[in-house]
Amino acid sequence: MKVSPILENAMLMCKGMSGAIAQSAVWSRRRMRGIEEELEKIRRNGLWRKLTPYRHMGGRHEEVMQQFASNDYLGLANHPSISEAFQEGLSIHGHGATASRLICGTNPAHLLLEESLAERKGTARALTFSSGYAAAMGTIPALLSPSDFILVDKLSHACLIDAAKLSRATLRVFPHNHMGKLRKLLESIRAQHGSKPRILIVTESVFSMDGDLAPLHEIVALKNLHDAWLLVDEAHGFGVFGEQGGGLAEELGLQQDIELQMGTLSKAAGLAGGFIAGSSALIDLLINRARSFIYSTAPPPALAHAALRSVELMGGAEGRELRKRLQKNVSLLRDVPASSKNTPIFPLILGSNESAMEASSRLADAGFIVPAIRYPTVPRNTARLRISVSAAHQESSVHALRDQLKQLASR
């Protein structure tokens, strides 16, 4: 068959293209095989994670199983007054913020929430972010440049480490709560680099996977001595400690001594969102520099409206009552094998991934949801059960869990 040169050309091109398509399919299969191999490795190491729907985990109201896994320390995630505020917020402000707060104008709901947070934290101002993770990722790189230093407690949350890396400042990790090492690091940086570089010390107040506390008095003294700054992540302290639920810094009377108090609205406050409280100049700097704030759509204003109710509730009489109930529940677990420093977080360290997974599934069989926590959330060979207690737990269920944990330990 005779074809025109144009058609012939087109046919040749098609042939070439189908060759290219076939080639790219081979590459794509190869890439997928690479992913399958990675997944297989995760499985082999006992580190497989999957999403389990609520209804298999007992539902929101613990209808089927007792849930000792959440960070809802005060039981506010299902509190009627906060649900009501959320709906009120929806009817006043609608649901979408539609753009960054710098583009569309700031909804007053966000400003009112920030005023209330600043008051609770004893600072001039506060700034909210869409999550605690975003607060860290925006704040730390906004403050530090590559010629600065950041000293991070070894057990700090992943968002603090990721933010430190993003800042490109020199990252030094000190052993957990090791004040001697922290002092040495501070001394050596000042001796080698003089007074010019900024040094930011980063720690949690209540450590999320160990439930122990940072020695904040000592850290503050060291940071003052060496002219460093301090960021304290109170993700698990906010709402739990302090007369007004301001966190461990409030409890210890240190709110004026900490440059950056970080927190989240997603744990004891029962909602979602993160925040930084600090001086007015610092908040201005974050508004101008924190990329996760500038380049991200504002959280729904209805959420801010509800969070304001939550922060007010935490700070008032009901909050104090809930903290008392929480402490009571914490004290009921005092003699279980898991260690705790009077915080709602009890780690039962079992070592291997398999033993942690097995203990978790044994508890599930008995009707308790207690998560197994594995690497890289915690260091290798320290896989554990993480038991978290809430004011919302019935005393009888805490007793029942205690019995289960004792049985587990005696096996």
Ligand X SMILES: *Cc1c(COP(=O)(O)O)cnc(C)c1O
- Binding residues for ligand X, rule: CB under 6 A, are 131-133, 157, 159, 204, 208, 233, 235-236, 264, 266, 274
Closest to ligand X by CB, 107 vs 131, is 131
The size of the chain, in residues, is 411
Closest to ligand X by CB, 159 vs 308, is 159
CB of 18 to ligand X, least distance (A): 47
Dist. CA 345–CA 387, nearest whole Å: 6
Cα distance from N-terminal residue to C-terminal residue, the chain: 83
CB 374 within 8 Å of CB 407? no
Q: At 277, which helix (H) or strand (E)? A: strand 274-278
CB of 191 to ligand X, least distance (A): 31
CB of 70 to ligand X, least distance (A): 11
Instruction: Using alpha carbons only, give the angle 191, 195, 200 rounded to the nearest 5 degrees.
Output: 95
Closest to ligand X by CB, 136 vs 199, is 136
Residue matched to tokens 């997928």:
32
CB of 360 to ligand X, least distance (A): 19
The residues carrying an active-site annotation are 71, 157, 204, 208, 233, 236, 267
Dist. CA 302–CA 197, nearest whole Å: 41
Dist. CA 403–CA 297, nearest whole Å: 47
Tokens (6 digits) for 381 = 């060979």
Closest to ligand X by CB, 297 vs 355, is 297
CB of 167 to ligand X, least distance (A): 16
Closest to ligand X by CB, 197 vs 347, is 347
CA dihedral 314, 318, 321, 326 (to 10 degrees): -50
CB of 213 to ligand X, least distance (A): 13
Dist. CA 275–CA 139, nearest whole Å: 10
* DSSP calls for 6-46: HHHHHHHHHHHHHHHHHHHHHHHHHHHHHHHHHHHHHHHTT
Closest to ligand X by CB, 116 vs 131, is 131
Dist. CA 6–CA 13, nearest whole Å: 11
Dist. CA 74–CA 96, nearest whole Å: 28
CB of 157 to ligand X, least distance (A): 4
Closest to ligand X by CB, 233 vs 250, is 233
Q: How far is CA 131 from the centre of its chain?
A: 8
Dist. CA 66–CA 49, nearest whole Å: 21
Tokens (6 digits) for 295 = 């380049």
Contacts of 302 (CB under 8 A, 6+ apart): 86, 89, 90, 92, 93, 94, 95, 109
Position with the least CB separation from ligand X: 132
